[in-house]
Structure 1
């Protein structure tokens, strides 16, 4: 098997196992889910009935907009907060801080702990009866009585975002710290000689060099937070009163609690469209960064 055609056939043979795996693991479940969204199908009853777009209409009538609002609130909060914390720590660790090597290792701990374990740790911290947070705030006389952090619509989402921030900031810190170490010191020295202060140097020297990596970090966090499930489900199960029900939780509850596969598939299809849109943005930003 020689020549260009032979090389093409050989290359095709090499890709067949990967293509078969892609079709079995990704394409077939995707097509099956999109097909199921057009049927009235139960998880516990046999058979199904074609209903067209009725499942999508049911989703828009009942749960789409509240779920979208909760997903956007969680995604925005769980993206901005860890980026701010990670950026601040990256800036601090990029200086000649005593013990910075040890601190880098310590700050990575939340990232290496499994998400479910982190969720149960924060479940204990936020517990209204014996939680660490309430005990600490009472001892400091900041509150008079324990607060039900995960039981109130106004505090549940904020609590989940805090927990997710604790688990997410380490990888953001590492990425931005790596970017900070590529900023030429000569540029900072030249700006300082021209009379630029620390804020001005950060704005005109540091940020332009980090624009590409910062954009990729933010986009990845947004995409991952749109799909996040475990921490929300462990802490609140989507409650109270649906105030923390995101797309991931709504699809799970509809499919495995209400046993309505058709509606769950329709909700998942709309969720997929949202994620695909952000994925396209991510790919374009990445390609633009490679061209620069």
Structure 2
């Protein structure tokens, strides 16, 4: 086969992938940059070129800076808590052997629930009037009056965190379970013969062997956490005040309530860059764990 024809066939094989990357990545990025550098609204995009005005304005906007900090902080906090809880549940399911596999089916239920429905369910649970949680607390004599969980800053954040944990811990648990069941049995049997206790096996054998998969799971959950929107929209709508307004929710309001699409695009670019920067240590951690424990 001539070399020119061989190169043509190779190019033909990768053409669908290149086309998909252009459609799903390159074009949206160029379109977003075009919006960010122009005065654009929903009805009239690209009205006039403004250069870096939207970007510099967003960088110096204290309110936007705070929403970015809150979004990043929530993503890391939720990822850390959920990786710990999910790993603990996965260890329990592995210890239960066959029963653990059936329990995974039950655990899947929150994961299969749409995020908006998760928010609606937890809003009903946390409602001050007729809410399940307030009813339980009052019946047990813990509180004398209903508590407005979603109208108080700290409880509002905790409520969003609990709802997010309920939704995504099953996902983390399944991935951790898959990593644990893939470990060689011989290593654990040898440690039992040597007299190693449960905590020693966990610390010196299990955790090092699953360090790389755990780093991958943590990175995946971290990225999901950066996209927090549905729970904020349904539970608090960014309130009380602007307490639970994250970058994603702030950008949505700027684009679809204030119709300033150009500035919203600029803030989207900035937030994407921030996400890329803060995830670099996690990517390096994954690489280090893969090199040392694989």
**With structure 2 as the length reference, what TM-score do the two structures score?**
0.89
Question: 1: CA distance between counterparts of 2:99 and 2:50?
Answer: 64
Conserved 8 A contact 2:212-2:290: no
CA positional deviation for 1:42: 2.5
More displaced stretch, 190-199 vs 212-221: 190-199
Question: 1: CA distance between counterparts of 2:103 and 2:257?
Answer: 44
Question: 2: CA distance between counterparts of 1:41 and 1:234?
Answer: 28
Map 1:73-84 onto structure 2 (within 5 A).
Answer: 73-84=73-84
CA positional deviation for 1:279: 6.0
Conserved 8 A contact 1:82-1:166: no
Deviations 1:103-139 (A, max 9, x none): 2211111111222221211121111212111112222
Q: 1:98 to 1:138 in 2, by over 3 A?
A: farther
Question: 2: CA distance between counterparts of 1:190 and 1:24?
Answer: 52
Question: 2: CA distance between counterparts of 1:47 and 1:263?
Answer: 12
Say whether 1:198 aligns with 2:217. Answer: no
Question: 2: CA distance between counterparts of 1:101 and 1:77?
Answer: 28
Map 1:170-189 onto structure 2 (within 5 A).
Answer: 170-189=170-189
Q: 1:218 to 1:46 in 2, by over 3 A?
A: closer
Q: 1:97 to 1:131 in 2, by over 3 A?
A: farther
Secondary structure of the residue aligned to 1:154 is helix
Question: 2: CA distance between counterparts of 1:280 and 1:153?
Answer: 31
Question: 1: CA distance between counterparts of 2:286 and 2:78?
Answer: 22
Say whether 1:136 aligns with 2:136. Answer: yes
Question: 2: CA distance between counterparts of 1:91 and 1:145?
Answer: 40
Map 1:51-66 onto structure 2 (within 5 A).
Answer: 51-59=50-58, 60-66=60-66
Secondary structure of the residue aligned to 1:216 is helix
Question: 2: CA distance between counterparts of 1:185 and 1:22?
Answer: 41
Conserved 8 A contact 1:70-1:243: no
Secondary structure of the residue aligned to 1:228 is coil
Q: Counterpart in 2 of 1:239? A: 239
Q: 1:287 to 1:8 in 2, by over 3 A?
A: farther
Q: 1:3 to 1:290 in 2, by over 3 A?
A: farther
Question: 1: CA distance between counterparts of 2:21 and 2:98?
Answer: 49
Question: 1: CA distance between counterparts of 2:22 and 2:142?
Answer: 56
CA positional deviation for 1:278: 5.3
Q: Counterpart in 2 of 1:215? A: 215
Q: Which segments of 5 or more consecutive residues in structure 2 lack a partner in the other structure?
A: none
RMSD (Å), alpha carbons: 2.3
Q: Counterpart in 1 of 2:23? A: 24
The total of aligned residue pairs comes to: 291
Conserved 8 A contact 1:76-1:222: yes
Question: 2: CA distance between counterparts of 1:47 and 1:181?
Answer: 54
Q: Counterpart in 2 of 1:104? A: 104
Q: 1:196 to 1:16 in 2, by over 3 A?
A: closer
**With structure 1 as the length reference, what TM-score do the two structures score?**
0.90
CA positional deviation for 1:78: 1.7
Conserved 8 A contact 1:37-1:264: yes
Conserved 8 A contact 1:138-1:146: yes
Q: 1:146 to 1:213 in 2, by over 3 A?
A: same
CA positional deviation for 1:208: 0.6
Q: Which segments of 5 or more consecutive residues in structure 1 lack a partner in the other structure?
A: none
